[in-house]
Structure formats: C-alpha cells, structure tokens
C-alpha cells in the first residue's frame, strides 16, 4: 500500500488513529499492582503532545537523538512518538546493558536526552554522566527510590509533560506544525545491531522503511484494530519496532504491557492475544516448559498427551503440504484439541492466538512443528535490522525447513558465494557515522545480509546460517552450527548449546548448558542430590541425560556433522560476560578466545578440563569460577 502524505510518518499515523478512534477505543493497557490500567487514543494523545512540547521547551532540536532505556511500558511507546513528533530521533538501549555499553551507544549516537525507566537505569546514567557532555536532561518515568535524588540533570516524565502544557501557551499549533513538517525519508529511529562480530552499529531507519515494510507484511497476514498484542520484546530490537510500535500505529490494535518481565507469561495468559511475535529463544523456552510439565504430570495424563501428539503432527503435516485432512483426522484432532491441546495453549497464553510468529534468528524445525501440532498457526519471518521484514510463511504454505517466500515489493537473490541479497523499501539508508560499512553492505540498492541460504523451486527462502558461521571441518565438509544447536535446544533439559568445529578440527563437538530448573526437577525426581548449578551439571546421571539427547540429534545429521564429543559447561552463557549479545545470540569469535583451553581439551585425549572463568557481577565487581569440566566421547 502506498504511503499518502496524511500517513507517511509514524506521528501522522498516530494522529490519524486519534481522529478515527479518539475516546471510543483503547490504544493500550498496562498492568500495575495487579490491575490493567487502560489508555484510549485520546489519553495517549495528551501524553504524546505535552511530552513532545516539553522536550522542545528543554531544547530538543530537529534531528537530535534521544536514548530510551527501560522495560516495555507505555512511556517508551508514547515517548518515542513524542520525540519523533518534535523532529527528534529516538533510539533504544537494552535494559540489561551494563554502564559501559550504555555509554558507548549514548556517545556514538550523540544523544542529547536520555529517557530511563527507574532507579536502576538512572544510576547507570549518573555513573557515567561526566562522560556524556551532550546530554541535557535525564528523564525518568518510575519515581520509586528516586525521591531523595537531587541531581540537576534529572527530571521526571510527569514534570516534562507539565512543562509541555505550560509551553503550549503561546505555541498553540507548534505540536501539529512539527508533525506536518515530518517527511517519509526523515530518520524515524536508530536501531543498534546486536554486535555479534564487533561493536554495535547504529542502523538509520526512516519512516518509509518501517511503514512500507509493515504494510507489506500486513497485506498477506491478518492484523485487525480489534486485536490484542502483548509487548514483550525490547523496543531496542527491530522486531518490536516493526510489529510493536509501527504495527500498533498502522493497524490501530491494542498494545498490552505486562506488569514486570517476570509476570509476562501470566499477564499474556490473561490477555489472550490474537497475534504473537516472540524470538526463537522464547519459543524454545515454552517448549521446554511444556515438555517438563508433561514429564512431571501423572502417568494417565502423560499417556493421553503421548496419544494425542502424533495426531497433531499428522494433521499439521497434511496442512503444510496443502492437503485438507480427511473427516476422520478432523474429528480426531478436535477431540485431542478439547482434551489436551487447548488447555495446554491456555496455560502459556496461546488460547486465542490466530497467528504466532518468530523472527530474529534460527528456529529449530522441531519447535515449529511442535507448535503447529498443538494447533498454533506458527509461521517464520526472515528479517534483519537493515531491511526489516523480508519473507513470511503464508497460511496453507508453511514449511518447517524454510522461512517463507518474499513479501510483496521485496526482491531476493542469492550471490555466487551463497549469500542472501535483499532489495526493497525496507532497505535502510545505512549506518550512522559509518559510511564505509554502509558501502560494504549496500551495493546498487541490494543489501548484503551476510546470511547463507538458497531459494527453492516454490520460491521459499531456505535460511542456513551466517556466511561467516558455516564451519568447515579439517576434511573439507561444512556444517551449520545453528542447525545442530536448534535441534538440541528442543530438549527440555538443554537451555543453550554451542557447536564447535574448524579447518583444524576433524569433527564436531558441543558445549551444553543445562536447563537448571528442568534438570533440577528431574534430579529430585530421580533422588539425585546436588548443591549448585556447577555441581548438577557434572553429575554422571546428568551427563547421561545429555548424552541421550545428543544421540537423538545425531540420528538426524549427516556423518560428517555428527557430534563426537561434548561437555556440560559449569555456568550459563551470559551477555554481561560478552558471551551473548543483548538479543541473546552467541558471540562465537569471542567464545573461541574465552574458552580456548576447554575447546582444545574437547579435541584432545583428555577426559576432563580444569576450568577457571572470569565473571563480572551486576555491580561491576570481578570474580572467578573454578571447576573440573568432564569431557565425554560419543563413541
């Protein structure tokens, strides 16, 4: 759909929804102290308008950058639209970023204002404020614990809104004039990349990039103004910018904000959203949770589940192959849905879901097939920060091995090196303050994704892995570590995993992170005593449990890619240790250095490795964890 002058920027879309819905329809809900607080479009307008004018009165100029740091709340969404309405450029910072990461993004983006949620985030900024000379004000929206702070840099969200109301006197139409001055090619937001291979880069995203991309997706996928959407993924990440903020403004749906991250699952169950977008890690976590609860349930319930699940797989396979299930299978599936699948979906907030999507990184085919088997209309998207939405599964054409055909208006091709190239309205102008990197990845309008894959005969994109992360073994064979990792994470007992190989390594090995909660319950059920994560991970019985899952996955792998050795790591991967990005992707090059000794031991004749790992606590203190990691051969 073409963007008209009346709706070609996000603030203009916001005003169009205000005119259409006003006080007649909800725009948002936020759970606070157990009660869902409701916001109409008129309520949102009052906040956006006066917060925007307040920022202008404080010196925000057109093109100025505003960093936002906090959990998913109405203040993030409304604050972002308010910044854009004033001509500023918002950018998100992940809530769990440590001060050095916050400093890098604030400095690199030239942020002049920081909007932060609470005391924890405010403290991060105050600790580095002397290194952020451009920052004029630190604005917070949750005052808990901040009563006695008297730093002149600080100001509450409410104070800015109040200041905006006062500023309106004598500037009656300034808010509307600022919005009218916005153009589709203006920068809408800076989204920083995950930084898997180095420092994060600031991706310049225009209003046209975001709006055109989401409209292309909505043209092949139903999104209604009456739908409920739960804002779960951080708006610092492009999927939430696309489906969350832009999708909210384009469709006019209701956005729901959980009370806290820890209550999001129960809050989602209360809302029962029609459209759900989670990253692969959350879908994998849900599978693990479901499987663990089935293992812990009564023998009768476990038997019923095990009888029904194959029916679900059968019906899902027929639909994926564009075949209508016969009368017998339809009746049998409805019975299974009534007895098992619907109650199961209700427990995890999927009972009303019309469409379930995943994007951001590789999702195991096992996970996708499982959710489709229990009746979830699960689809994959292929997207990247620099191109927004690229492909999507369509109803009646879902293949577990693909990420779907290209969306309308998007062109795809595969380079001679096997790299996926993309052209379309979602391709961004480039990276902020990094023209050299822009020239490398955008050539003749084609964005070079750095991802490997191919397009099948049906026009579906088959995603393999990052080009740089397809690993070649000493014998010349290549394998995809993400494929192996995804298959292993389908186990309820494996939280994370890293597959290893290389030109100087003759076979594949893996480093496994146990799911502490699920393995802990399994250990207690089997009368295995343990004290800590480290102790549990090295128990012989737990090692045997991991071995069975690796044997299961090995049966699906070609001979060259079969796992020959493994170990259970004594700690979890941690983004604070730079082992994961803030979007929870493995930083493989860093890990190769961090665990060089352990990796070498996995390719030696040793059956154990004495590990001593540096760790960083949340307050910045350093420490070490030492233990003996047992190495196991699959022979």
Residue 576 has pLDDT above 70, yes or no: yes
Question: How crowded is residue 403: how many other Cβ atoms within 10 Å of its Cβ?
Answer: 23
Span 525-540, average pLDDT: 92
pLDDT over threshold 70, residue 198: no
Asked if residue 373 and residue 325 are part of one domain, the reply reads yes
Across the beta sheet with 378-384, the strand order is: 275-278, 355-358, 378-384, 388-392
**Residue 105 class from Cβ within 10 Å (0-12 exposed, 13-18 middle, 19+ buried)?**
buried
Identify the band that residue 1 occupies on the pLDDT scale cut at 50, 70 and 90: very low
* Whether residue 625 has pLDDT greater than 70: no
Q: Which residue has the higher pLDDT, 453 or 623?
A: 453
**405 and 529 in contact (C-beta within 8 Å)?**
no
Q: Domain for residue 186, yes or no?
A: yes
Give the domain-ending residue among 465, 492, 509: 465
Residue 292 belongs to a domain: yes
Query: Do 328 and 215 belong to one domain?
Result: no
Residue 616 has pLDDT above 70, yes or no: no
CATH label of the domain that carries residue 482: 3.30.300.30
CA torsion sign, 487 to 491 to 494 to 496?
positive
Q: Which of 407, 441, 465 is the last residue of a domain?
A: 465
Minimum mean pLDDT range among 67-81, 166-180, 542-556, 614-628: 614-628
For residue 234, pLDDT beyond 50: yes
Q: List Cβ neighbours of 537 (8 Å cut-off, separation of 6 or more).
A: 514, 568, 569, 570
- Could you read off the pLDDT of 121-172 as tens digits, one per residue? 999 999 999 999 999 999 999 999 998 999 999 999 999 999 999 999 988 8
List, in order, residues 6 or more apart from 327 with CB less than 8 Å away. none
Q: Which of 173, 195, 145 is nearest to 85 (CA)?
A: 173
The answer to whether residues 441 and 403 belong to one domain is yes
* Tens digits of residue pLDDT in 245-300: 999 999 999 999 999 888 888 999 999 999 998 888 888 888 888 888 888 889 99
Q: Determine the structural domain holding residue 31 and report its residue range.
A: 10-251
Decide if pLDDT at 15 tops 70: yes
DSSP E strands: which ranges in 243-402?
254-257, 275-278, 355-358, 378-384, 388-392
Using CA atoms, how far apart are residues 553 and 566, in angstroms rounded to an integer? Answer: 13
Q: What angle do CA 600, 603, 606 make, to 5 degrees?
A: 85
Identify the band that residue 480 occupies on the pLDDT scale cut at 50, 70 and 90.
Answer: confident
Q: Where is average pLDDT lowest: 392-396, 562-566, 621-625?
A: 621-625
3-class DSSP string for 470-500: CEECCCCCEECHHHHHHHHCCCCCEEEEEEE
Note the pLDDT of residue 2: 53
pLDDT given at position 555: 87
Angle CA 106–109–111, to nearest 5: 60
At residue 23, the 3 state secondary structure works out as: coil
Whether residue 262 lies inside any domain: the answer is no
Question: Residues 465, 362: contact at Cβ < 8 Å?
Answer: yes
Number of Cβ atoms within 10 Å of the Cβ of 100:
10
| Domain assignment of residue 256, yes or no | no
186, pLDDT greater than 90: yes
Residue-wise pLDDT for 71-84, tens only, equals: 999 999 999 999 99
The reply to whether 432 and 526 lie within a common domain is no
Q: Say what the pTM is.
A: 0.82
Q: What is the pLDDT of residue 251?
A: 95
> Rounded distance, CA 610 to CA 43, Å?
59
- 356: domain CATH number is 3.40.50.12780
- Residue 458 CA, chain-centre distance (Å), reads 28
User: How many distinct structural domains can be found in the chain?
Assistant: 3
User: Per residue in 552-572, pLDDT tens?
Assistant: 889 878 888 899 999 999 988
Q: What is the mean pLDDT of residues 367-381?
A: 92
Residue with tokens 């293992």: 295
Using CA atoms, how far residue 507 sits from 366, 546, 552, 564, 565, in Å, is 24, 19, 18, 7, 9
Tell me: pLDDT of 195 over 70.
no
Burial class (CB in 10 A: 0-12, 13-18, 19+), 499: buried
Average pLDDT, the chain: 90
Q: How far apart are CA 320 and CA 332, in angstroms?
A: 18
Provide the pLDDT for residue 230.
Answer: 93
> What does the pLDDT look like over 456-470, one tens digit per residue?
888 999 887 777 777
Output phi, psi for 322, to 5 deg.
60, 35
The answer as to whether 2 is a domain residue is: no
* pLDDT tens figures, 321-351: 778 889 999 999 999 999 999 999 998 889 9
Task: Find the angle CA(29)-CA(30)-CA(32) to the nearest 5 degrees.
Answer: 140
Question: Does 150 share its domain with 199?
Answer: yes
Whole-angstrom distance, CA of residue 526 vs CA of residue 530: 12
Q: Do residues 424 and 492 share a domain?
A: no
203 and 287 share one domain: no
What is the mean pLDDT of the segment spanning 367-389? 91
Residues 414 and 388 in one domain: yes
Alpha-helical segments (H) within 501-554: 516-525, 533-537, 540-554
């Amino acid at each position: 759909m073409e963007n008209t002058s009346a709706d070609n920027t996000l603030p203009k879309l916001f005003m169009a929804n205000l005119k259409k819905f006003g006080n007649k329809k909800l725009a948002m809900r936020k759970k606070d102290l157990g009660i869902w607080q409701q916001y109409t479009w008129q309520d949102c307008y009052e906040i956006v308008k006066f917060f925007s004018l307040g920022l202008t009165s404080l010196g925000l100029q057109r093109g100025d950058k505003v960093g936002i740091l906090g959990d998913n709340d109405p203040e993030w969404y409304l604050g972002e639209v308010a910044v854009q309405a004033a001509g500023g450029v918002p950018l998100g910072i992940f809530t769990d970023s440590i001060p050095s990461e916050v400093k890098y993004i604030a400095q690199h983006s030239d942020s002049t204002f920081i909007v932060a949620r609470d005391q924890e985030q405010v403290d991060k900024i105050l600790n580095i404020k002397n290194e952020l000379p451009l920052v004029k004000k630190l604005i917070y929206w949750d005052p808990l614990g901040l009563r006695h702070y008297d730093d002149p840099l600080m100001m509450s969200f409410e104070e800015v809104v109040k200041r905006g109301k006062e500023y309106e006197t004598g500037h009656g139409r300034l808010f509307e004039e600022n919005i009218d001055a916005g153009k589709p090619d203006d920068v809408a937001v800076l989204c920083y990349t995950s930084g898997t291979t180095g420092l994060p880069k600031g991706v310049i995203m225009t209003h046209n990039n975001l709006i055109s991309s989401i409209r292309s997706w909505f043209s092949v996928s139903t999104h209604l103004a009456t739908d409920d959407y739960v804002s779960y993924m951080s708006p610092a990440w492009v999927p939430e910018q696309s489906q969350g903020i832009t999708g909210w403004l384009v469709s006019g749906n209701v956005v729901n904000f959980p009370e806290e991250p820890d209550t999001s699952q129960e809050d989602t169950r209360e809302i029962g959203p029609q459209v759900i977008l989670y990253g692969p890690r959350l879908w994998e976590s849900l599978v693990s949770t479901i499987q663990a609860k089935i293992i812990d349930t009564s023998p009768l319930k476990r038997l019923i589940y095990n009888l029904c699940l194959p029916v679900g797989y059968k019906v899902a396979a027929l639909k994926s192959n564009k075949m209508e299930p016969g009368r017998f299978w339809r009746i049998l599936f409805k019975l299974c849905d009534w007895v098992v699948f619907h109650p199961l979906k209700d427990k995890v907030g999927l009972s009303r879901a019309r469409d379930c999507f995943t994007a951001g990184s590789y999702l195991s085919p096992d996970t996708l097939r499982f959710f489709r088997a229990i009746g979830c209309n699960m689809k994959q998207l292929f997207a990247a920060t620099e191109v927004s939405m690229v492909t999507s599964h369509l109803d009646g054409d879902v293949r577990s091995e693909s990420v779907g055909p290209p969306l309308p208006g998007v062109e795809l091709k595969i380079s001679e090196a096997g790299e996926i190239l993309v052209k379309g309205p979602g391709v961004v102008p480039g990276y902020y303050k990094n023209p050299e990197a822009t020239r490398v990845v955008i050539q003749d309008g084609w964005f070079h994704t750095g991802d490997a894959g191919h397009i099948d005969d049906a026009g579906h994109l088959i995603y393999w892995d990052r080009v740089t992360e397809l690993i070649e073994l000493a014998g010349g064979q290549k394998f995809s570590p993400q494929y192996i990792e995804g298959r292993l994470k389908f186990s309820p007992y494996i939280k994370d995993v890293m597959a290893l190989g290389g030109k100087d390594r003759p076979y594949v090995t893996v480093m496994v992170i146990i799911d502490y909660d699920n393995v802990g319950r399994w250990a207690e059920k089997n009368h295995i005593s343990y004290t800590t994560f480290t102790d549990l991970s090295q128990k012989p019985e737990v090692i045997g449990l991991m071995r069975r899952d690796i044997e299961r996955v090995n049966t699906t792998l070609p001979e060259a890619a079969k796992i020959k050795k493994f170990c259970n790591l004594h700690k979890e991967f941690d983004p604070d240790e730079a082992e994961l990005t803030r979007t929870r992707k493995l930083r493989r090059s860093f890990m190769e250095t961090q665990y060089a000794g352990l990796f070498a031991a996995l390719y030696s004749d040793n059956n154990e490795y004495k590990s001593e790992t540096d760790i960083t606590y949340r307050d910045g203190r350093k420490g070490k964890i030492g233990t003996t990691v047992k190495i196991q051969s699959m022979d």
